[in-house]
């Protein structure tokens, strides 16, 4: 066989056990733009601004953003170091497998499923936030009083649009993500300048930096402050998208980790400017909290620049959230594609397929949209379901962010071989900080947000997280541990180490099926 010429990133991917199936067309900037678009400060900070305003107020909004960004940068730095060593679309679960030693398959399984849960929640949270904002904009212009089922219906339409774009317009996704970066940065500058110039009676500095509000019903100020961190922490999710896009990125072992770090760093700076502009723009706190528009930020815009100006600023937010949701579906589908490529999901033989003419993982895209749609149905039963969806996203993603770092610290501290991007001697302390923070927020965001707790305001995150944990660990113990061995190569390496031939995907599926069949037969034999 004639030796194929491959670039360094494709060569590294083959060394990790995978053939190049997705087109490697993304630059460092477009890789960063995917993560930056998924983080989307104009989405997370907008959607949960009212929640944070009631749970701690301005002081928690501003200083919480600073603190959470610092903790998120620790998590991102630990992830970026590992990404530089293992630049593959499987990302987090692949890292856990390689770093977990003899327990690698278990950690890969758990990491992959928590990441999937978080990504489904992230896509749902983003597009549902867009649906709510769109309803508020329509209400602002027409006086329409919308009901919950109408919000859910609009949410479904948005998911379908994002599914269609990711299916049929895959070549435009990189362009859309680049546009998204400038919409976010330009949007923040426009909103910042507009509010600072046009707001006649700006809030005082003491209100912005020290003002405390507690409308949760809880008496503990510390607990209320911690609850208010959800706004910032939900926003600072999704930067693992750069890892999931590495198989489509040139110079992936540098571009992927840099994309992760830049997504957090740039988001912090832009997000701080956005939050300062909004909070200084509050002229009447009671009016903002009890706005008839249903959206505190819409009320801030109305009070500062009038109806026409508010509409123009809200359009910027709508565009940003639309791009964000589209990028989330892209990243989610790549994770499904990679996880199913290793046989870890029901229907894996369909989910890892790349359409021959569309060049997109069609089944993975629509599974992402379908599961996200199911999560949106929670809103029909519970008016505070949006907070639960964002909590699910935060918990699921951050557990999956922490597990590879945990494996790196516990099982591979002396054996890990860093890539071009390395933390050096700071690797261990940063990793410890990241893991401790993740444990804290995992506990925090399943707790109730308001008191007294009733069926109408209960935080149903704990129900979904508990059910997910039951499935993940139960399925592992009773089923997957007998056949799931972690990431499996989909290439055959012949005698000449530079000659690679594709075609072992079907062989891999046959091996997995044989393992499952053997296990079932053994179980039947034991019963008989």
Please say if the pLDDT value at position 489 is more than 60.
yes
55 - beta bridge partners?
A: 214
Mean of pLDDT values over 385-392:
74
In angstroms, rounded to a whole number, what is the distance separating the alpha carbons of residues 195 and 338? 44
Between 499 and 242, the higher pLDDT residue: 242
Between 491 and 132, the higher pLDDT residue: 132
Q: What is the pLDDT of residue 15?
A: 66
In angstroms, rounded to a whole number, what is the distance separating the alpha carbons of residues 485 and 489? 11
Please say if the pLDDT value at position 454 is more than 80.
no
Between 172 and 514, the higher pLDDT residue: 172
- What are 143-188's pLDDT values in tens digits? 777 888 899 999 999 999 999 998 888 778 778 878 888 888 898 8
Buried/exposed code over 300-315 (b: 16+ C-beta within 10 A; e: otherwise) = bbbbbbeeeebbebbe
What's the number of CA atoms in the CB half-sphere (13 Å) around residue 142? 9
For residue 98, CA distances in Å to 79, 247, 462 come to 14, 18, 30
Q: Model confidence at 526, in pLDDT bands (50, 70, 90)?
A: very low
Q: What is the pLDDT of residue 472?
A: 92
Q: DSSP H helical segments within 281-295, as ranges?
A: 285-289
Q: Model confidence at 269, in pLDDT bands (50, 70, 90)?
A: very high
- What are 175-226's pLDDT values in tens digits? 887 888 888 889 889 998 999 888 888 899 999 999 999 988 888 899 999 9
Beta 500-502 vs 491-493: how paired, if at all?
A: antiparallel
Exposed/middle/buried for 489, CB within 10 Å: 0-12, 13-18, 19+? middle
> Coil, strand, or helix at residue 484?
coil
Q: What is the pLDDT of residue 497?
A: 38
User: Tokens 């992830």 belong to which residue?
Assistant: 79
Please say if the pLDDT value at position 74 is more than 50.
yes
Q: What is the pLDDT of residue 91?
A: 77
Mean of pLDDT values over 233-249:
82
Mean of pLDDT values over 113-119:
89
Q: Model confidence at 508, in pLDDT bands (50, 70, 90)?
A: very low
Exposed/middle/buried for 74, CB within 10 Å: 0-12, 13-18, 19+? buried
């Amino acid at each position: 066989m004639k030796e194929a010429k491959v670039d360094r990133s494709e060569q590294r991917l083959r060394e990790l056990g995978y053939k190049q199936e997705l087109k490697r067309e993304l630059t460092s900037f477009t890789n960063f733009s995917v993560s930056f678009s998924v983080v989307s400060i104009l989405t997370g900070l907008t959607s949960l601004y009212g929640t944070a305003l009631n749970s701690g107020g301005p002081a928690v909004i501003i200083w919480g953003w600073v603190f959470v960004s610092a903790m998120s940068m620790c998590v991102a730095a630990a992830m970026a170091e590992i990404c530089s060593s293992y630049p593959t679309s499987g990302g987090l679960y692949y890292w856990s497998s390689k770093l977990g030693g003899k327990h690698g398959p278990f950690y890969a399984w758990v990491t992959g499923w928590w990441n999937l849960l978080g990504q489904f929640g992230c896509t749902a949270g983003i597009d549902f936030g867009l649906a709510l904002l769109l309803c508020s904009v329509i209400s602002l212009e027409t006086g329409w009083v919308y009901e919950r089922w109408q919000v859910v219906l609009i949410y479904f339409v948005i998911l379908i649009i994002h599914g269609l774009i990711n299916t049929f317009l895959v070549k435009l996704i990189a362009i859309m993500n680049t546009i998204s970066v400038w919409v976010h940065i330009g949007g923040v500058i426009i909103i910042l300048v507009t509010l600072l110039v046009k707001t006649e009676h700006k809030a005082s500095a003491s209100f912005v930096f020290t003002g405390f509000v507690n409308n949760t019903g809880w008496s503990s100020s510390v607990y209320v402050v911690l609850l208010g961190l959800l706004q910032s922490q939900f926003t600072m999710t999704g930067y693992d998208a750069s890892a999931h896009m590495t198989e489509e990125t040139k110079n992936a072992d540098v571009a992927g980790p840099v994309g992760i770090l830049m997504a957090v760093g740039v988001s912090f700076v832009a997000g701080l400017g956005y939050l300062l502009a909004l909070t200084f723009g509050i002229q009447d706190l009671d009016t903002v909290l009890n706005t008839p528009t249903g959206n505190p930020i819409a009320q801030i815009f109305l009070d500062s620049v009038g109806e026409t100006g508010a509409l123009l600023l809200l359009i910027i937010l709508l565009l940003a959230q639309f791009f964000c949701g589209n990028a989330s579906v892209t990243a989610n589908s790549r994770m499904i594609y990679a996880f199913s490529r290793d046989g870890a999901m029901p229907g894996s033989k369909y989910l890892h397929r790349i359409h021959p003419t569309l060049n997109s993982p069609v089944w993975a895209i629509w599974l992402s949209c379908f599961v996200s749609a199911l999560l949106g149905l929670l809103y029909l039963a519970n008016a505070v379901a949006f907070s639960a969806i964002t909590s699910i996203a935060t918990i699921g993603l951050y557990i999956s962010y922490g597990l590879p770092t945990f494996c790196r610290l516990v099982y591979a501290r002396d054996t890990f071989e860093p890539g071009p991007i390395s933390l050096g001697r700071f690797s261990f302390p940063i990793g410890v900080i990241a893991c401790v923070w993740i444990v804290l927020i995992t506990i925090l965001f399943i707790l109730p947000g308001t008191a007294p707790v009733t069926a109408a305001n209960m935080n149903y995150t704990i129900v979904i997280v508990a059910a997910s944990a039951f499935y993940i660990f139960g399925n592992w113990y009773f089923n997957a541990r007998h056949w799931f061995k972690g990431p499996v190569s989909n290439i055959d390496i012949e005698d000449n180490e530079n000659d690679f031939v594709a075609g072992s995907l079907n062989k891999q599926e046959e091996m997995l099926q044989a393992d499952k069949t053997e296990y079932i037969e053994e179980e039947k034999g034991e019963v008989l």
